[in-house]
A and B are shown apart, each in its own frame.
Chain A
Amino acid sequence: MRNRTVPQPSMSFEYIMWMFTRISGLALLFLGAVSLVIALAMGARQLLDMPTLARWTFFPNPNHVVNSKIPDVTQGWANAYWQIMQIVIAFFGISHGFNGLRVIIEDYIGNTIWQPMLRGLLFLVWLFFLIMAVFVILAS
């Protein structure tokens, strides 16, 4: 059987977002695993209880571990690396969720004026959430 290939269609918005959904979902799992492994390497088994470790895993914010047995969170638990991790996790998480809402709008709102209006509103709320998330992460 001959190998058959065709030039890929030029990237449509739907295709990009379809890929993004999959990539961001996997990225969130990967980033969670990274946070968990590093926390365990920093002694989380002795320093954190299970709920605190779970909160840290999916959002490695120092406020989540400040009331644990960690003597000083500024030593390894609160630095620029974790801030970048939080921003990346917040970006993937918020965008993944809001893209899901966009798909629901496109599925259930027909070809009416409501669809572009709701999509526009959703874009603004997504942007607001991202800006707020970055602000909270950098300020904490």
Chain B
Amino acid sequence: MEVKVKILRFNPEADKRPHYQTFCVDAEPTDRVLDLLEKIKGYQDGSLAFRRSCAHGICGSDAMRINGMNRLACKTLVKDLGRGTIVVEPLLGLPLIKDLIVDMDPFFEHYESVMPYLVNDEPPPLKERLQSPEERARFDDTTKCILCAACTTACPSFWSNGRYVGPAAIVNAHRFIFDSRDRAAAERLRILSNQFGVYRCHTIFNCTLACPREIQITKAIGEVKKAIATGSLE
């Protein structure tokens, strides 16, 4: 079957503003949007720029807007997008560099601001810091994040105010706040209770809809708000 792919193109060296370009690609219904982009880049226009790495939904490199929704190109099948033209655009809310590539620096600055690593100054035990299956299950959902930025760039609060840390940063803070081995929950909660922390979230749920890993993001943000209000990490 022949598929029309309409891509928002932008070349900073030649274009004043982004414009759409449509390509016709021979594809199977089981092809992924990433396959279509590879075919376009390989056989039609080598200047098309997009990020990709593992191509199996783990590295989080190829998040983009496909038919208006943030998705991973490597997890989106042609047959799931209906019969019409497939529209592919870069993520919103981050500076556009070229074609489907956006500047991820602001996203990772917010991510780093919440201390997304284990903090524990207590002397380590002989073998390892033990954790029961129940304690591990408490934050299991938020360990699934692949930092693709689909959630943060789907958030209207982030679109309108780039200083908001965004859902992905809160998800990664949640992953350590509720980890029984970690000792920096209070510091992370302090960071997230500021003007650009969790209270910029107005439970719009775009993040939860956009997450390719199906993380219950709005729920996780709610749990962080509750932890700030009660001090309880249960």
**A18 vs B199: C-alpha distance in the bound complex, in angstroms?**
7
> Does the CB pair B200–A15 fall under 8 Å?
no
The complex places the Cα of A86 from the Cα of B232 at a distance, in Å, of 37
Q: Which stretch (B17-25, B62-70, B88-96, B184-192) binds chain A?
A: B184-192
Contacts A6-B233, A19-B229 given; does A14 touch B194 at CB 8 Å: yes
Q: Is the CB of B160 within 8 A of A9?
A: no
**Chain A residue at smallest Cβ distance from B157:** A107
Q: Which of B157, B161, B163, B189 contacts A6 (CB 8 A)?
A: B189
- Give residues of chain B (206-225) contacting chain A, Cβ–Cβ below 8 Å: 225
B134 close to A1 (CB less than 8 A) = yes
User: Do B160 and A8 touch (CB < 8 A)?
Assistant: no
Q: Bound state CA distance, A117 and B16, in angstroms?
A: 33
Contacts of A1 in B (CB 8 A): 132, 134-135, 138, 180
Q: What is the CA–CA distance of A18 and B185 in the complex, to the nearest angstrom? A: 20
Q: Is the CB of A6 within 8 A of B185?
A: yes
**Partner of B229 from A3, A15, A106 at Cβ < 8 Å:** A15
Chain B CB within 8 A of A7 CB: yes
Count A-B contacts at CB 8 Å: 69
Point out the residue from B180, B195, B230, B231 that lies within 8 Å of A2, measured CB to CB.
B180
Say whether A8 contacts B199, CB under 8 Å: no
**A residues contacting the other copy or chain, number (CB 8 A):** 23
User: Can you report 19 A-B residue pairs in the complex whose CB atoms are below 8 A from each other?
Assistant: A1-B134, A1-B180, A3-B234, A4-B232, A7-B231, A8-B231, A9-B186, A10-B190, A12-B193, A12-B194, A12-B195, A13-B195, A15-B193, A15-B199, A17-B199, A19-B229, A107-B157, A108-B160, A111-B163
List 8 A-B pairs, minimum CB-CB distance, nearest first: A4-B233, A9-B190, A6-B186, A14-B199, A8-B231, A6-B185, A108-B160, A12-B193
**Chain B residues with a Cβ under 8 A of chain A:** 132, 134-135, 138, 157, 160-163, 180, 185-186, 189-190, 193-195, 197, 199-200, 202, 225, 227-234
Instruction: List 15 additional contacts besides A1-B135, A13-B195, A17-B199; criterion CB under 8 Å.
Output: A4-B185, A5-B232, A5-B233, A6-B189, A7-B186, A12-B193, A14-B199, A15-B199, A15-B228, A103-B202, A106-B195, A107-B157, A108-B160, A108-B161, A110-B161
